Homo-oligomer: A and B are copies of this chain.
Amino acid sequence: MASTPKIYVAIVGVGLVGSEFINQLLSIPSSPFHLVSLTSTTRTIFNHSHPISSAWKSDLSASADRPDLHKLTQQLSALVSPTQKVALIDNTSSEDVAALYPTWLSTGISVITPNKKAFSSDVALYDQIVAASRTGGRFLNEATVGAGLPVIGTLKDLVTTGDKRSFGVKMRARSCSLFVPVVATSGGDSHAQQVIKIEGVFSGTMSYIFNEFSTGKADGPAFSSVVKIAREKGYTEPHPADDLNGFDVARKLTILSRIIASPSLPKLQSFASVETASLIPPALENIPTGDEFIARLPEFDAHFAEMRAAASAAGQVLRFVGVVDVVNGRVRAGLEKYPTTHPFATSLGGSDNIIMFHTERYGARPLIVQGAGAGAAVTAMGVLGDLLKLT
């Protein structure tokens, strides 16, 4: 219970998020962490006796060692002991790095990451990760959804404190009486769920595009011009189709669905199992470059303008949302319409994420988390928040 021993930290990936994370980590006063290893795409350093300092960039570029994750696994697992924790921070978006999580976890190394791949790809990998973490290291992935926003932690609290009552009439009765306590009766239907539905704008890119494009008015800027500006500002991937396909949202929904793990939800084989309504016009499905894609997108402006006008006529806005609908057993991503009085219309701005948790306890008025859901500073903060949970 007294003073905690130092925790050894190794970082793979030193790009935008990685660099920001290292700087945040090294700024912690009286830090409980020893940074022992860095790995970029071209170099690596490992030094467990002299922890890495703020001169890390020059130290790393001066290193003659090439990245070797299998050697790193050996070096780190040699440090693990019953009294010594080791954390590996994966700040890449690599499938190859993700594939090593079960190995790391089973040797007692904890894995902390904003990389969505391991938790949203093949369910076999995910199951291995969960199994390895039961007896080995911990895995923490708050920053995979909403960056530094408290999304995964909130969902885990909702799920682990779930009282598994059946809902329906009960839920309706509670909706207008937040102050009147409902005493839970333990036991009951184990298939019933505390979480009823999660609904949100999970992509900062999609948030920006539709906050600009659809404000409730019948007209506005052309869809293609909004996408073009978003790309120029660096809000989209180099090829905007990589955002407009909805896969980023499908991956985040997969991560959340697997945490809920309700028998009423489909067991997602991978993020590809999510019902995802891509925004890429079929004629532009296989355009090889972003420039070409942007050049041809205006051909479809009339189509998007029509949807906007129809929504406006009904007092609605368009938003690209993700929904985990536990009650109806559906996980879907796509463009949906919301009244102009809905928080997705009134409260959202910039490239914010907004996530609504509809649960039994929160009744008719959901728990809402909102804020920047992308960017290196807030993503690194989400990762560091997880690392601090190991202390």
* A residues neighboring B (CB under 8 Å): 1-3, 16-17, 19-20, 23-24, 26-28, 54, 80, 82, 108, 135-137, 148-150, 153-154, 157-158, 160-161, 163-164, 176-187, 204, 233-235, 341, 343, 346-347, 349-352, 357, 361-372, 374-378, 380-381, 384-385, 388
Contact = CB atoms under 8 A, between A and B. Distances in A.
24 contacts: A1-B136, A1-B137, A16-B183, A19-B183, A20-B181, A20-B184, A23-B163, A23-B184, A26-B186, A148-B361, A148-B367, A149-B367, A150-B154, A157-B385, A157-B388, A160-B388, A177-B233, A178-B204, A178-B375, A179-B375, A180-B233, A182-B376, A362-B372, A368-B370
Q: How many copies does the complex hold?
A: 2
Contacts of A350: 176, 178, 364-365
A375 B182 CA distance: 9
B137 A233 contact: no
A183 B376 contact: yes
A301 B20 CA distance: 54
Given A19-B183, A179-B233, A361-B148, A369 B372 contact: no
A82 B83 CA distance: 13
Contact of A378 (B150, B177, B361, B371): B361
By CB atoms of chain B within 10 A, which of A28, A158, A186, A235 has the most? A186
A314 to B, nearest CB: 19
